Amino acid sequence: MNAAQFLPDLVCPVCGWECVHPVALKAEPVTDDTVVYINREGIRTFATNVAERIRGIRITTTFLCEEGHTWDEERRFHKGITSELLRRGPDWFSEPELAPATIWRD
């Protein structure tokens, strides 16, 4: 592997559309009892007992495609092992004004 390697573009797992936007990021636990949550409204931290249920750390990114599908991509890290989970979220094409907004815009 070279020092840098481009991976394929991320596409919606529901429709295959390549226009997808990150709408939230959650890291848990950051310390023993703290979760960090980022969305368009900003950064929030809150206390939780998630450390009792999670070994290592879990980072979840929520995406919204331009067709209105949402999904979470979760990565769990523990003792050198990384596992991934894809979880389908609600569809927003019938109510786009209620859909979550992109974390940032360029």
Higher pLDDT, 75 or 4: 75
Nearest to 33 by CA among 48, 45, 43: 48
> Is residue 16's pLDDT more than 70?
yes
Residue 8 domain flag? no
- Calculate mean pLDDT across residues 40-67: 85
Residue 41 domain flag? yes
Mean pLDDT of the chain: 87
Nearest to 54 by CA among 86, 31, 24, 23: 31
What percent of the chain is predicted at pLDDT more than 90? 48
- pLDDT tens, position by position, 23-34: 999 998 766 778
Residue 58 domain flag? yes
Nearest to 71 by CA among 84, 86, 85, 58: 86
Residue 15 domain flag? no
Residue 68 domain flag? yes
Q: What is the pLDDT of residue 86?
A: 95
Q: How buried is 6 (Cβ within 10 angstroms: 0-12 exposed, 13-18 middle, 19+ buried)?
A: exposed
Residue 87 domain flag? yes
- Give the domain range for residue 31: 20-93
Instruction: Kindly state the tokens that stand for 86.
Output: 């894809």
Q: How many domains does the chain have?
A: 1
Residue 57 domain flag? yes
Q: How far apart are CA 14 and CA 59, in angstroms?
A: 21
